[in-house]
Amino acid sequence: MRIDILTVVPELLESSFKHSILKRGQDKGLVEIVVHNIRDFSEDKHRKTDDYAFSGGAGMVMTIQPIESAINFLKSQREYDEVIYTSPDGIQLDQKLANNLSLLNNVILLCGHYKGIDQRIREHLITMEISIGDYVLTGGELAAAVIVDCVVRLIPGVLSDETSALTDSFQDNLLSPPVYTRPADYKGWKVPEILLSGNDRKITEYQEQQAYERTKRLRPDLLND
């Protein structure tokens, strides 16, 4: 999978992808994440990427030209499955959407800033808008980092333990069961006996039951879906 991210503040994103699991995915050649500075595509002599809103009021609007040039440049190199804009107006990111996105080959992620982007970009160039939740961030970069993180870890081979993405919270509309490690008894805080039994079938049954009970208690809405 290749993910191209368009932003006016590449510094906000660069370190996010240089560590741990996302780095491993890139090192193994399973995903390529390329961050582009939208200013590099601006035809303005001061590399401007925003302007006043025709409607007046506070806040600048990102202009069409640099964004269209950046998207056209990328599209001249390869075909893209989706051109995604990160916005609070978009469809809300969840595990199902992350699963679907992880099956795509090439994706562009456009990060908004200021008051947003000129509406005509959304109408003519964007194929999908994604929100990471009902709150407003100062820019789309953190949203893009969240989307990339949860999508990339689902690409087969990125996680070292292939099954671990399958047992994540939400993967079957269930929260994950609690996990424990050594010591089995810490100052009297004990690990449930059954997990020490060595009986794989009983342990699996216990974990499934825990996942169900936790979901019922903490997120009953997931069971209704």
Binding residues for ligand ADE (CB under 6 A): 86-88, 112, 131-133, 135-137, 140, 143
User: Toward ligand ADE, which CB reaches closer, 1 or 137?
Assistant: 137
Alpha carbon of 190 to those of 90, 171, 185, 195: distances in Å? 45, 28, 5, 11
CB of 131 to ligand ADE, least distance (A): 4
User: Toward ligand ADE, which CB reaches closer, 72 or 92?
Assistant: 92
User: Toward ligand ADE, which CB reaches closer, 25 or 112?
Assistant: 112
Rounded Cα gap, residues 118 and 64, in angstroms: 6
Rounded Cα gap, residues 8 and 11, in angstroms: 9
CB of 39 to ligand ADE, least distance (A): 19
CB of 84 to ligand ADE, least distance (A): 10
User: Toward ligand ADE, which CB reaches closer, 22 or 143?
Assistant: 143
User: Toward ligand ADE, which CB reaches closer, 16 or 131?
Assistant: 131
CB of 12 to ligand ADE, least distance (A): 12
> E strands along the chain, which residues?
2-7, 32-37, 50-52, 60-62, 82-92, 106-111, 128-131, 185-186, 189-190
Say if residues 27 and 21 touch (Cβ distance below 8 Å). no
Cβ-proximal residue to ligand ADE, closest one: 143
167-204 b/e with 16+ CB inside 10 Å = b? ebbbeebbbebeeeeeeeeeeeeebeeebeeeeeeebe
Say if residues 16 and 27 touch (Cβ distance below 8 Å). no
CB of 91 to ligand ADE, least distance (A): 10
User: Toward ligand ADE, which CB reaches closer, 89 or 162?
Assistant: 89
CB of 148 to ligand ADE, least distance (A): 13
